Chains A and B, each alone.
Chain A
Amino acid sequence: MSARRWRLAEGGRIDRARPLGFSFNGRRYEGYAGDTLASALLASGVHLVGRSFKYHRPRGVMSAGVEETNALVQLGGGARSTPNVLATQLELFEGMAARSINCWPSVERDFGAAAGLVSRLLPAGFYYKTFMWPSGMWMGYEHFIRRAAGLGQAPREPDAERYVRRWEHVDVAVVGAGPAGLAAALAAGRAGARVLLCEQDREPGGALLSEAAEIDGRPALDWVAEAAAELDSMAEVTLLPRTTLFGYHDHNYLTAVERATDHLGADAPAHLPRERLWKVRARQVVLATGAIERPLVFADNDRPGIMLAGAARSYLKRFAARPGRMAVVFANNDGAYRAALELNAGGVAVTALVDPRPAPKGAWSEALEAGGVEHLAGHAVVATHGRKRIQGVEVAPVSPDGREITGRHRFITCDFLANSGGWNPAVHLFSQSGGRLGFDDELACFVPERARQPLRSAGAAKGSFALADCLAEGFAAGTGAAAESGFGDGKPPPTPAASPSPDPAPLACWQLPVARRAAKCFVDFHNDVTAADIALAAREGFVSVEHTKRYTTAGMGTDQGKTGNVNALAILARVRGEAIPAVGTTTFRPPYTPVTFGAIAGPDVGPLFLPERKTPIFPWHQARGAVFEPTGDWRRPRYYRENGEDMAAAVSRECLAVRNAVGITDSSTLGKIDIQGPDSLKLLDWVYTNAWGSLAVERCRYGLMLGEDGMVFDDGVTARLGERHYLMSTTSGGAGRVFDWLEEWLQCEWPHFAVDLTSVTTEWASIALAGPRARQVLAKLEPDFDIGAESLPHMAVAEGRVAGIPARVFRVSFTGELSYEINVPAGHGLALWLALMVAGEPEGITPFGLEALLTLRAEKGYIVDGVDTDGSITPHDLGMDWIVSRKKADFIGKRSLSRSFVAGAGRRQLVGLLTEDPAEVLPPGANVAGELRPKPPMPIAGNVTSSTFSPTLGRSIALALVKDGRSLIGQKVALPLAGKVVRAEVVRPLFYDPEGERLHG
């Protein structure tokens, strides 16, 4: 029954043959195909759609587009739940379920509205003033704030939708398919350019969809349909509806999101993604983004039933929805008069037109009189009434500048108020592109002034509001853009005649007087910022526009100030007593409208977020019950769990097997760089601290790499495989970094070096066999070369076959035990591993993981770069002076080692720590105090870098970097831990087999 009162019987771009059922806040409604959620609600008589952000004031639909600040809804549920969707943009589909946000228990009865009653206590900067002290109270406040000042709710489940990404390279990108954009695309397309035309709406036409206009003497929408058909017929032109171009980046790089299936609801085909992110590179860009109407700032201008005039016309004309039945129109510009007449003729009785201008110039009076509309020039709305819907307004005569009330109030009953304060060109993308804006005093708005990138603005986006100008500028921009891309002769096609003609400019009245002081004049509806808040911010010293924005939060909501920013600037300018251009604008940043995280992440989620690297032996580790640990991008076994043991037991078992029998570990992740060429030796001498000339073929050497700042950067063993052939190994995590480093020096500093580098990390599987029985196990695989202690001593390398597989065997050790590191082509890695496991069974071969390896090396005091060093540690700090050549004239980092602060005292040095209680394992990172004190505070002299329980020694051990640590050897230090102080003795960082006898075994 009631629906019929609000929906027109005919007209509009809706399909009455396709009714669609939907629910809002749990109630069932019906709309039609072609509706948005907002239009369907208005056509059902629903104005109250939400509660405001801070004061929880009842709010209604304010606009018909992307500038909406009030009608934000939570759409759907579960994994498909989407917060903060604009009802004005949301195309209706069968079964849609939406609800209001920021209200509890319901939009009708909202407890948070109490905030409105104490609103005098919630001024601008409220959070800054209130939550500064005492800081601990924030924990308590936060809960309240998060609940009270809410937006929609983020879904708790992983997103069930699919998102894709697509690249496009075009000659001309046109943004907006209103009259200017269509004309530009037509002109560029006809010239033969490749054109991409993005339109955020579901269909082209822009403002023409919502007003009565003519082109070439025919309805403008006929021209739109023909233009769209012509564009569709051009092979090089793509028109993307439902696509918001939200980012304009450097070098004409554009980002757009296409809502591919949201409008289909449950009918969305499974093969289509929800959204498609377009990444577009365009030679030339035409911005035909139109304009956004700005509201007037007057008393209690936020009641449900108060709407922008253009939006009111849009609901009536495009959606055949009556936004009200008895309306007052309040405007400072002639464009709104046309809207008023169209509303009055279309079924919304307009009782009065209130205009603060003392003598509007347009010849409107007759038309208004003929329509029975009272014309109140020189008047303003000074109060509004009604809580959940406007019930009436008070009007009063005002001074010619619109600032003061000059006469008595009068009450006018209404259920709807359309208002217009003029139009702001949508300059967001222009501004994002780096273009400069200028303030046009006559139009009272910011317009594009100087572009920085190859782009053109056309139509309302440029401040040209007449339809004929939009068409002419569109044709000219499209022609020019195509010509600069190398298409066409640069002559634009003739512009058709069009009506309506331009409207006289508005009166720049930024804030109207109020009847009663308690009234709130909202500027930013989304964040509940009032004119008084801006004035307060200015009084408190936040006079810079960027400071005012942050202090009041004006322009910081999901709408990014699309309706409020210019009003806010103007009010700030008035308070400061300056012109608007002197105040300036805040920076426009992407995105123009909110973009889902899904669209940005695209398919790069879950296992595709960061690909995992796995060694050839990974399946065996997995089958053997390995617990994995990420190292760099790799997944390495941390330990192998047996018979339900815990990690400590597993690590202990693995360590003892290596020390007493034989262990086997997968070290394939170590970086390997193949170095060949006559200048290979020169390169090594430059990048390592030690000298390499004496290294014989088939021998290996440990090297330390420094940055040019003298700090340890990576380490590893490099083997000389031939006269001019080396194989460098790096840390697992440092493989890429070291390779980049060598390439950089070779290309930038030593391009004359004859050296070739190849990263061969993944070409080889690498298996380390460690322990006193390692030789027996390897011997069983019948290597075709001698592996005896004399033929293949510590730090030697041999090439041949092991178990019939071509292999390189390195006598290197990171465990301190007799150790062979066997490299075979990656494809043979698993076969060799299996062969070793079989051969080693009688010897008790035990696979060991990273945790055991790190324990074994800590017992030996071998450093791990990035664990025991942190980019501020020199070889001297590590006690490794022996590796720094004194003979070499230069190497990378050499000069830095003699810098005063590097060579002086007071540096952190690597030491060992033995806790008084051998069972106490220190937490890595624990602070080491410089003085022995019973309890904190104590001066901190360093920290623990590695700490573990040594199964070999039966006690805890730790490595630490401590200020002047070597001078403390033999002394006790204190470590303040949570709740206790632990004492430890400083020792040499070497806990096991100090002579290295086992290594050479």
Chain B
Amino acid sequence: MLLIDCPNCGPREESEFRPAGEAHIARPEDPQALDDEQWARYLYYRTNPKGLQFERWHHFYGCRQWFNVARDTVSHEIKAVYPMGAAKPKDLA
């Protein structure tokens, strides 16, 4: 079980959180202008990296806030926690 440093509440057990997959997937500005494949890429395609992944987490049983986590999918080491809307940390991006 991971120990996640919630930006609002501090380090808490993973069981208080819910993961929500890859972060930094912006909703297209004008979906109607996209063809089916471009839209499908937004909807379904994820990088699923072995190693560093930027992902969204939700402090479900806590402050209910969403935030971003940079996590190594192999070692589960959490490299950074940063607010929703912020850019990837410079040293990791």
Residues of chain A at the chain B interface (Cβ within 8 Å): 249-253, 281, 434, 452, 708-709, 740, 743-744, 747-749, 751, 889-890, 894-896, 898-900
Contact = CB atoms under 8 A, between A and B. Distances in A.
Given A743-B66, A744-B58, A898-B32, 5 more contacts: A281-B3, A281-B13, A744-B66, A748-B66, A894-B31
A435 to B, nearest CB: 11
Nearest to B27: A749
13 contacts: A250-B1, A250-B2, A252-B3, A281-B3, A709-B43, A743-B64, A747-B84, A890-B31, A890-B32, A895-B34, A895-B39, A896-B43, A899-B39
A102 B20 CA distance: 47
Interface in B13-58: 13, 20, 27, 30-32, 34, 36, 39-40, 43, 56, 58
B3 A894 contact: no
Nearest to A900: B36
- 8 nearest A-B residue pairs (beta carbon): A895-B31, A251-B3, A747-B66, A250-B76, A253-B1, A899-B36, A895-B39, A251-B2
B20 A744 contact: yes
Contacts of B10: none
A899 B39 CA distance: 9
A393 B31 CA distance: 82
A158 B51 CA distance: 45
Contacts of B64: 743
A207 B83 CA distance: 52
Contacts of A251: 1-3, 76
Contacts of B40: 899
Contacts of B2: 250-251
Contacts of B34: 895
A751 B60 CA distance: 18
A434 B74 CA distance: 10
A896 B64 CA distance: 29
A629 to B, nearest CB: 27
Nearest to A710: B43
Contacts of A749: 27
Contacts of B60: 740
Most buried by B among A251, A253, A889, A899: A251
A744 B65 CA distance: 9
B86 to A, nearest CB: 11
A894 B36 CA distance: 12
B36 A249 contact: no
A253 B32 contact: no
Interface string B67-88: 0000000011000000011000
A896 B39 contact: yes
Contacts of A743: 64, 66
B84 A434 contact: no
Nearest to A747: B66
Interface residues of B, number: 24
Contacts of B30: 890
B48 to A, nearest CB: 19
Given A249-B1, A744-B20, A896-B39, A751 B85 contact: yes
Contacts, number: 50
B32 A894 contact: yes
Nearest to A739: B64
Contacts of B56: 748
B30 to A, nearest CB: 8
A744 B2 CA distance: 22
B45 to A, nearest CB: 13
Nearest to A167: B13
A524 to B, nearest CB: 31
Contacts of B32: 889-890, 894-895, 898
A749 B23 CA distance: 11
A373 to B, nearest CB: 52
Nearest to A892: B27
Nearest to A743: B64
Contacts of A748: 56, 66, 84
Contacts of A249: 1
A430 B65 CA distance: 35
Contacts of A252: 3
A709 B27 CA distance: 13
A173 to B, nearest CB: 14
A747 B64 CA distance: 10
A465 B84 CA distance: 52
A452 B75 contact: yes
A431 to B, nearest CB: 15
Contacts of B43: 708-709, 896
Given A452-B75, A751-B84, A253 B3 contact: yes
Contact of A747 (B31, B65, B76): B65
A743 to B, nearest CB: 7
A910 B56 CA distance: 37
B72 to A, nearest CB: 10
A452 B36 CA distance: 44
Contacts of A751: 84-85
A709 B36 CA distance: 12
A574 B32 CA distance: 64
Contacts of B66: 743-744, 747-748
Contacts of B76: 250-251
A452 B75 CA distance: 7
A982 to B, nearest CB: 39
A888 to B, nearest CB: 11
Nearest to A249: B1
Nearest to B68: A748
B1 to A, nearest CB: 5
Contacts of A250: 1-2, 76
Contacts of B39: 895-896, 899
A889 B29 CA distance: 11
A749 B31 CA distance: 15
Contacts of A708: 43
B43 to A, nearest CB: 6
A898 B56 CA distance: 29
A749 B65 CA distance: 13
A434 B75 CA distance: 8
A740 B66 CA distance: 11
Contacts of A898: 32
A894 B28 CA distance: 12
A211 B71 CA distance: 48
A895 B40 CA distance: 10
A898 B76 CA distance: 40
Nearest to A894: B31
A281 B65 CA distance: 24
Nearest to A902: B36
A546 B76 CA distance: 24
Nearest to B40: A899
A747 B83 CA distance: 10
Contacts of B13: 281
Nearest to B36: A899
A249 B40 CA distance: 36
Contacts of B58: 740, 744
Contacts of A896: 39, 43
A744 B3 CA distance: 22
A751 B64 CA distance: 14
A898 B39 CA distance: 11
A430 to B, nearest CB: 15
B25 to A, nearest CB: 10
A433 to B, nearest CB: 11
A267 to B, nearest CB: 36
Contacts of B65: 747
Contacts of A895: 31-32, 34, 39
A833 to B, nearest CB: 33
A709 B43 CA distance: 7
Nearest to B18: A740
A434 B73 CA distance: 13
A890 to B, nearest CB: 6
A452 B76 CA distance: 10
Contacts of A744: 20, 58, 66
Contacts of B31: 890, 894-895
Nearest to B44: A709
